Amino acid sequence: MTSLTREINAEDALQLLQKKMTTLVDVRAEIEFAKGALPYAQNIPILTTAERHQVGTCYKQKGQEAAIQLGHRLVAPFKTERVSAWAQHAGSDGVLVTCWRGGLRSQIACTWLSEVGVPSLRVRGGYKAMRNLLLGRLGNLPPFRILAGLTGSGKTELLHAIPRNTVDLEALAQHRGSTFGGMGPDHPQPAQASFENAVLFHLPRSGPVYIEDESAFIGSVSLPQEWVSHARIQDCIWLDSPLQDRVRRIWAEYVMLPLQKGVPREALLDHLIHRLVRLERRLGGARTQDLIANMNSAFNQPDHWQGHAWIGQLLAEYYDPRYHFAFERSRKKVVFQGDFQQCLQWIQSN
């Protein structure tokens, strides 16, 4: 490596990212990045997925030297373009570069950056070392304070009102945590490894840390078992909210907001009905059809209070009983209970 390139360990690399002092340029292939990535990482491959496949086949058939030569030939027509793309992410200390294990790909990328006069920081141990460092934090989790309350009570709003030491698990999961909680095709859920990385990356090192009461699964991703076990024995703050307020909040978030963002009414209705049908086994056929009828009626009169009936019915007959059952079974300790302002004031003074 030239004098324009220096190695940096995984801990220091994560600190740079957490201080938002740089962007991580991940030169792994797209298929690798999609399976697991770090926050603030940009995927600009030195070898694309197709190119990596060719090089891998060559390695198996002809050995390392032939594979390296093939890699250089494949990249040659695009070298200038890729180096330029990496260079655009240079921070004050240069471009922070990683590959899978800090091996040949990141070494070559840093060498090419040096050739055009751009300094770089190569992460020792690569993505694997940074991920392992994050996973190690599961062995020393800080105290949590769990924001609990029935569906629609405003737990997320309360979380966002707390000025520090919070982790928004639903935002990191790109899912609101209920059957209707997917954030749509424009916000697909992350890969499991990417979600774990993000949760542990954003976790404050000391507590108490405020999080919402979540099940192990948030949509298609799950919290690490160590996290789930730790959360079960932490203190809870119970947020009270009248049913009517919860219905209004859910109506605003799941119906009015998508409509205001331009989602066609018919498409939104189809999406909600599709999600509702997934609950039919638990709700029963007759109750599901009744809810669908109320939902159809609501979309014909979206600004009329009677249009909210299906939400109140769904809360009272499905979500509330399930939440109460799960919470009572968990035997979590409630240290404070109150409305939004009361809970916020208690948090600020404790």
Active-site residue identified among 58, 99, 110, 343: 99
Reported for 309-314, long-range contacts at CB under 8 A and 24+ positions apart, including other chains, are 311/247, 311/250, 311/251, 312/243, 312/244, 312/247, 314/276
Number of other CB atoms surrounding residue 350 within 10 Å: 11
CA distance 97 to 25: 5
Number of other CB atoms surrounding residue 223 within 10 Å: 21
The torsion of the CA quartet 59, 63, 66, 70, rounded to 10 degrees, works out to 10
State the SS3 of 131-144: HHHHHHHHHHCCCE
Q: Is 58 a catalytic residue?
A: no
Cα 242 versus chain centre, distance? 30
Contact yes or no for 190/304 (Cβ under 8 A): no
Token pair belonging to 124: 């020792």
Residues in contact with 305: Cβ distance below 8 Å, sequence separation at least 6, in sequence order: none
Number of other CB atoms surrounding residue 207 within 10 Å: 14
Q: How many CA atoms lie within 13 A of 159 on its CB side?
A: 22
CA distance 272 to 13: 43
Place of tokens 């030195």: 46
Q: Are strands 334-338 and 235-239 parallel, antiparallel or unpaired?
A: parallel
CA distance 203 to 191: 18
Select from 244, 212, 237 the least CA-distant residue to 339.
237
DSSP letters for 105-126: HHHHHHHHHHHTT--EEEETTH
Active-site residue list: 99
